[in-house]
Amino acid sequence: MPFVQLNGNAFPNLYYDNSKIEWNSGAMYAVQFSAPVVKINRDRVQWYGYGTFHPSRLWRHMPCEPVRGALCSIVQESPPASVLVFPSGAVDVPLNVDQLVLPRDFSGFMHNTGGLICSQSTSNRMLSFSDNRYEISMCDLVDENFEFVLAPDTNLLYVRRRVVHLWVVLVLSALSLYLFIKTCEHFVELVHGRRPCFAHGSITLPFAVALFSLGKLALADSTLILQEEITLQVVCGVYTLAHTGLHLWRHLRHAQEAGATDESFFSSRGAAAVGPLIAAQVLLSLELNQSIDTPFLSIYVCLFGLRNFLKFLNLLNLHFQQASDLQNKLFKTLEVFADTFVFACLIGIGVQIAVESREQYAADVVGLCVVSILAGTLLHQITLMHLAEPDTPRKTDA
């Protein structure tokens, strides 16, 4: 998604680098005509070339009419009241905040969130004896951590406060790092010709992450901006739940049949799969960043595509070279179809949202697919070399 990085130390107007943002000329003026959604937070001005805005109940929306010298103006006709949104000129505040005349929708939102305190000495606002109008500026983004989304086609402004808890960030980051480590361990085992055995960290934890993500989406609505991102969240969540749930069921059934011995716990049945691990990391990334547009997206897509192509080659080997029962062939075929569908969603939704242009999207898709095919083929050849080696006695891990 194209964006302009804001200077968070510049007050009160919005600056990128050392340039003040002008809304009625230049690049930002063109953005309001071409982009269906423009998002502004304390870090950046971001606009979307693909996707549909999801106005969840977490947002307060209000009419915002075009105006010279500002992004837009929240206007109320009776009684007359208005609020300039990110003006390019001077930003002042009355000596007495109680004298402010505010539109009802805006006043209700600001008072409920504890706003209207952006009058600190560092905010660079000018005191006024006569002006009784409030003006939204950089101070509101930094002090109150507000997010604004403008839909130019409908002249609606959506506002919400983004609440970030440090402990949540730490927990989600630790989970993401742990799942990435388990993913790397999975590929290391494959390179050595071994299939990873069942592990709760690779199966039960992704199951819990998917359950939490879908439960929060159903009960508390989504913090994601685009409807397409929510669709990708649902796809990854359902895929992870189904995949890990099936592995858990097979593991528990096998443990009961074997009398719940230690040997059955480390059985290769219900072995860990990299697909749910990566899908769970995508869910954590969506929850942590509130967007799919992160530097880790290409890594997730490459790893998922690599494993998909390896499973596809293994499926061909199963059908044409190995004697296997029909039920196993059918199960493996359905599994490959499910993985391919998720991979297509990652490319068709995630990558398309993250790029800045159609040309870059086409180049990224070709590059990701080529890397996935080549790496998957190489890994398949390595596993075949291990299968061709003569069987030698191996010590069983205690």
pLDDT tens digits for range 271-284: 567 889 999 999 99
pLDDT tens digits for 125-163?
777 777 778 889 888 888 888 999 999 889 999 999 888
Compute CA distances 262 → 196, 236, 269, 383, whole Å.
16, 32, 13, 27
pLDDT given at position 201: 81
pLDDT given at position 368: 93
pLDDT given at position 388: 56
The SS3 of residue 154 is: coil
Residues 128, 30: contact at Cβ < 8 Å? Answer: no
pLDDT given at position 121: 63
Q: 340: number of CA atoms within 13 Å, CB side?
A: 13
DSSP 289-314: HSSS-STTHHHHHHHHHHHHHHHHHH
Torsion of CA 352, 358, 364, 368, to 10 degrees: 60
Compute CA distances 76 → 71, 140, 319, 335, 388, whole Å.
17, 21, 69, 56, 77
pLDDT given at position 272: 61
Extract the tokens encoding 108: 């209700």
DSSP state of 222: -
Give me the sign of the Cα torsion angle 137, 138, 140, 146.
Answer: positive
Extract the tokens encoding 379: 């890994």
pLDDT given at position 386: 63
Continuous segment of H or E residues that includes residue 92: strand 92-94
pLDDT given at position 211: 95
Extract the tokens encoding 122: 């560092």
| Helix, strand, coil share (%) of the chain residues, nearest 5 | 55, 15, 35
pLDDT given at position 267: 43
Torsion of CA 346, 352, 358, 359, to 10 degrees: -50
* Banded pLDDT at 258 (limits 50, 70, 90): low
* Banded pLDDT at 252 (limits 50, 70, 90): confident
Extract the tokens encoding 325: 């029962």
Residue 246: name the closest of 214, 203, 278, 307 by CA.
203
